[in-house]
Amino acid sequence: MIKIGLDMMGGDFAPSEAVKGVASFLGSNSKAINLILIGDKDQINEELIQHNINQSAISIVHTSQTIEMQEHPTKALKEKQDSSIAVGFNLLASGEIDAFISAGNTGAMMVGALFSIKAIEGVIRPTIGAYIPREDGSLGLLVDVGLNADCKPENLNQFAILGSLFAEHILNIKTPKVGLVNIGEEEGKGNILAQAAYPLLKENNAINFIGNVEGRDILINKADVMVCEGFTGNVVLKMAESVYDIIKRRNIKDEHFNRFNFEAYGGVPVLGVCKPVIIGHGISTSIAFENMIKIAYKMIDTNLTEKITAKFSNI
C-alpha cells in the first residue's frame, strides 16, 4: 500500500485546511493509499472529528514542535527534531512513507530534501518546477523557479532532462518540447549562461530541444518544458501569480485566467531527489492539499523517481 506523509502543521491555516484537503481526497479516491498525518495529535483529531472523516485510511504520527515560516531552515531542523517537517523527512528517509508533502517553511523543506533524502546519483542540483497554464488549455512546466538562483550551463542541461521526464510521465506529454528561456529566438542570444547552455541542450539526445523561447512564448504552446535559472523562473512565476490576483480583485471572469490559481495544481515537486517531495504555498487551502496528495500519488504510481534514476545512470 502506498503511504503518503502530510505535514499537518505547515501553512497559514494548519491544521484545518490540511484536514479538509484530506477529507476531499478520501471522499473521491478509491485507491489503496494510507495517509500519514504528521503533527499535533490533539489538534488533528479535533479537526478529524469536526469534519466527520473516516479514519480507516489514516494514521497519525504525533509531533510536539512546529517550524514557523520565519525560522532559519537549517537551524530549525537541527534544533526542532520533533517538528512535523523533521519527523516527516525521517519517515521518508527510513522508508516508512513513500512521499512527503508540506505547505510549511519552504527553506526547511528544501534543506530536508537535499540533506535528508539527497540527490539522485548523477544529479548535480535538484530543481523545482512550476506549472504554466497555456492559452490552449494545456499545461507547461517551468524549471527552475527558485531553488537555484545561480546556475552553470550543466545545471540547465540537467533541469531539461528532469523537466522532460516529469512532463512525459506526470503531465502525459509525449516527447515534450524543451525550450531555453532567452531574450531572443536566434542561437547565440542571451547572457553568458544562456549562450553556454544552448549547445549543451542542442547536443542532448535525452531531450527534444527546440531552441530558445522568449517571454511572450511562455504562456502559449511553443515549448512544453521551459528551462532557466531560478532567479528568472521565480520572477516569471510570481508575475503569473500576480496576474491571478489582479483578475480576482477586478472581478474579471475568464476561464483561462482562472487557471492561474496555483491551488488547482497543488504544490511544486522537487525533481532530482531520491524520493517524492512536494512543497505547497504557505497560503494553501484544502484544494491545494488535495491536489498535492494527487501529485504525490501519481509520482509514486508512475515510478517517476526510478525513471529519473535510470536515465541519469545512463548519462
Instruction: Give tens-digit pLDDT for 249-279.
Output: 999 989 888 888 888 888 889 999 999 999 9
Spatial neighbors of 52 by CB under 8 A, at least 6 apart, are none
Neighbours of 247 (CB within 10 A): 17
Of 201 and 114, the structure prediction assigns the larger pLDDT to 201
Say what the pLDDT of residue 305 is.
96
Q: 173-189: per-residue pLDDT in tens?
A: 999 999 999 999 999 99
Minimal CA–CA distance to 270: which of 102, 154, 134? Answer: 102
Q: Which domains does the chain show, CATH number per domain?
A: 1-123+272-303 (3.40.718.10), 125-264 (3.40.718.10)
How far, rounded to the nearest angstrom, does the alpha carbon of residue 51 sit from its chain's CA centroid? 28
In the chain, at which residue ranges do the beta strands (DSSP E only) sit?
A: 2-7, 33-39, 58-62, 99-102, 127-133, 139-143, 177-181, 208-213, 225-227, 268-271, 277-279
Per-residue pLDDT band at 29 (split at 50, 70, 90):
confident
Minimal CA–CA distance to 99: which of 265, 266, 269? Answer: 269
**8-state DSSP, 119:** B
Distances (CA, A) of 187 to 132, 183, 191, 193: 24, 11, 12, 13
Distances (CA, A) of 155 to 18, 236, 250: 34, 19, 40
Distances (CA, A) of 149 to 125, 161, 167, 228, 233: 12, 19, 22, 9, 9
Say what the pLDDT of residue 208 is.
98
Distances (CA, A) of 249 to 12, 64, 83, 127, 219: 21, 39, 37, 32, 21
Instruction: Give residue 226's region: left, alpha or beta (phi > 0; psi -120 to 50).
Output: beta
Say what the pLDDT of residue 100 is.
98
Q: Look at residue 65 and tell me whether its pLDDT is greater than 80.
A: yes
Per-residue pLDDT band at 24 (split at 50, 70, 90):
very high
The grid coordinates of residue 30 equal 478509491
User: What mean pLDDT do residues 208-230 have?
Assistant: 97
User: What mean pLDDT do residues 148-152 have?
Assistant: 95
Say what the pLDDT of residue 20 is.
95
User: What mean pLDDT do residues 157-180 have?
Assistant: 97
Say what the pLDDT of residue 30 is.
73
Mean pLDDT (the chain) is 94
* Alpha carbons within 13 A on the beta-carbon side of 26: 20
Per-residue pLDDT band at 159 (split at 50, 70, 90):
very high
Minimal CA–CA distance to 132: which of 120, 145, 142? Answer: 142
523561447: which residue's cell? Answer: 213
Q: Look at residue 246 and tell me whether its pLDDT is greater than 90.
A: yes
Say what the pLDDT of residue 53 is.
87
User: What mean pLDDT do residues 195-223 have?
Assistant: 97
Say what the pLDDT of residue 236 is.
95
Of 53 and 125, the structure prediction assigns the larger pLDDT to 125
Say what the pLDDT of residue 98 is.
97
Entry pTM: 0.92
What is the β-pairing status of strands 127-133 and 268-271? antiparallel
- CA dist 194 and 156 (Å) reads 9
User: What mean pLDDT do residues 44-55 have?
Assistant: 90
